[in-house]
Structure 1
Amino acid sequence: MIRIAVIDGQGGGIGSVIIKKIKEVFGESVEVWALGTNAIATSQMLKAGANRGATGSSAICHCADRVDIIVGPISIVIAHSMMGEVTSEIASAIGASRARKFLIPLAQEPVHIVGTIREPLPHLVESLVSEYLKNYIEEQRP
């Protein structure tokens, strides 16, 4: 079974939207781990339908190399983003993980991702799941 880590912080809103869509499209054919930088984010992502959840830098670093796919906002690979919730260790563990990474180009930090089109979150999540995740998951299945 393909294991997907959804990583988010602050209120877990982006991660929750992502998890709901993943579960809507793939159901229980994938296992979704909610990895929050804080307990509120993890709790909200679990309520959205994640199979498992863990909180904090240690948990995220531990799990980053134990999943097949990592999904979240681009902020999860920027140290000190999300008002400091993303530690250098988290950003490094995600970057070093062998998991395929699908990142949503949303950030509150002064970072601009050139070449992307500004879209509302629901449109970005739809594209993430229906184009990127679906194609990747189908390629991985025997």
Structure 2
Amino acid sequence: MRIAVIDGQGGGIGKHITVRLRQELPPEVEILALGTNAAATVAMLKAGANEGATGERAILYNVPRVDVITGSLAVILADAMLGELTPTMAAAVAASPARKILLPVNRSGVEIIGVTTEPLPHLIEALVQRLKVFCQKGGSEDV
């Protein structure tokens, strides 16, 4: 199972996701850090990602080649992360056949009705638990 964690700016959310995934998932699960910039990629690599790549081309190349994509909701929003996430990146992530398990972090002016406001650590914990079930079921779409 290959999981892409996508983040930008300082990579803080991606770092926290990566730490928790590394703690909770079996060692054979591969975590790929995809940063919109080098600082984000480095933060996720230091947190335990197996590999990392940076920039638009890296994201375009890798998102069709993973089983799961995770990060904040911003990874499917053009010009999110203060413009670091390009429209081409957002389209590639959205079009990827990978399962997308995203955090509803509202920094891009998008509000998802029906989602309760929770602190980021609670959201990351819910994401990690969801990914554990997904991995245990072998990537089944029925989860």
TM-score category (smaller protein):
over 0.9
**Residues 34-62 of structure 1: CA distance to partner in whole angstroms, max 9, x if unpaired?**
00000000000000000000000010010
Q: Name 1:140's counterpart in structure 2.
A: 138
Aligned partner of 2:133: which letter?
Answer: N
Report which of the two has the higher share of helix: 1
Which consecutive aligned stretches of 4+ in structure 1 deviate over 2 angstroms post-superposition? none
Deviation at 1:27, TM superposition (A): 4.1
Deviation at 1:109, TM superposition (A): 1.4
**Aligned equivalents of 1:109, 1:123: Cα separation in 2:** 20
Q: Name 2:58's counterpart in structure 1.
A: 59
Structure 2: 5+ residue stretches without partners: none
Match of 2:113, SS state, is coil
* Count of matched residue positions in the alignment of Structure 1 and Structure 2: 140
Aligned partner of 2:131: which letter?
Answer: L
Q: Give the TM-score normalised by the residue count of structure 2.
A: 0.94
**Aligned equivalents of 1:50, 1:28: Cα separation in 2:** 11
- 2:132 matched to 1:104? no
Q: Give the TM-score normalised by the residue count of structure 1.
A: 0.95
Structure 1: 5+ residue stretches without partners: none
**Aligned equivalents of 1:106, 1:48: Cα separation in 2:** 21
Identity of aligned residues (%): 50
Alignment of 1:1-142 (within 5 A): 2-130=1-129, 132-140=130-138
State the Cα RMSD in Å.
1.3
Aligned partner of 1:14: which letter?
Answer: I
**Aligned equivalents of 1:18, 1:27: Cα separation in 2:** 15
